[in-house]
């Protein structure tokens, strides 16, 4: 009986130590941040549970990070000019194929509203 308990203990400790040897992934690099000036229409997109504020013009759509949306809710459907920090994130599907680019804005400063 003692031999069986010893063997179970030996195999379980070998398995647990091997599971801890998994190679760690390197930390992800932060995408670069650019300061941009944008003129566009403020739109509300998404669903009732996950609303997102987007600033759109003829060229691109910029998603506003959640912390900054309060400033822009009352300006929906209006043309505004802002200055903000833009982060460009390349999105990927699970199989590694490109899913497009997402542009996010933070530290928004409203310059003009029309």
Query: Does the residue 8 lie in any domain?
Result: no
Query: Does the residue 11 lie in any domain?
Result: no
Query: Does the residue 109 lie in any domain?
Result: yes
Query: Does the residue 26 lie in any domain?
Result: no
Residue 84's CATH number = 2.40.50.140
Contact between 54 and 43 (Cβ < 8 Å): yes
Question: What is the pLDDT tens value at each position of the chain, 114 positions in all?
Answer: 666 665 555 556 555 555 555 556 666 777 778 899 999 999 999 888 888 999 999 999 999 999 988 889 999 999 999 999 999 999 999 998 999 999 999 999 999 998
Query: Does the residue 57 lie in any domain?
Result: yes
Helix-, strand-, coil-residue percentages of the chain, each rounded to 5: 25, 45, 30
Contact between 69 and 84 (Cβ < 8 Å): no
Task: Name every residue whose Cβ is closer than 8 Å to that of residue 26 and which is 6 or more positions away in sequence.
Answer: none
The reported pTM is 0.69
Q: Three-state secondary structure along 71-82?
A: HCHHHCCCEEEE
Query: Does the residue 23 lie in any domain?
Result: no
Query: Does the residue 64 lie in any domain?
Result: yes
What's the number of domains the chain is made of?
1
Q: Which domain holds residue 66?
A: 33-113
């Amino acid at each position: 009986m003692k031999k069986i308990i010893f063997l179970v203990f030996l195999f379980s400790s070998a398995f647990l130590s091997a599971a801890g040897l998994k190679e760690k992934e390197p930390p992800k690099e932060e995408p670069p941040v650019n300061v941009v000036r944008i003129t566009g229409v403020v739109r509300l997109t998404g669903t009732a549970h996950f609303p997102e504020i987007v600033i759109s013009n003829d060229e691109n759509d910029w998603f506003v990070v959640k912390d900054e949306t309060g400033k822009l809710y009352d300006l929906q459907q209006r043309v505004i000019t802002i200055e903000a920090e833009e982060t460009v994130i390349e999105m990927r599907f699970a199989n590694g194929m490109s899913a497009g680019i997402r542009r996010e804005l933070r530290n928004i400063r409203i310059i003009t509203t029309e």
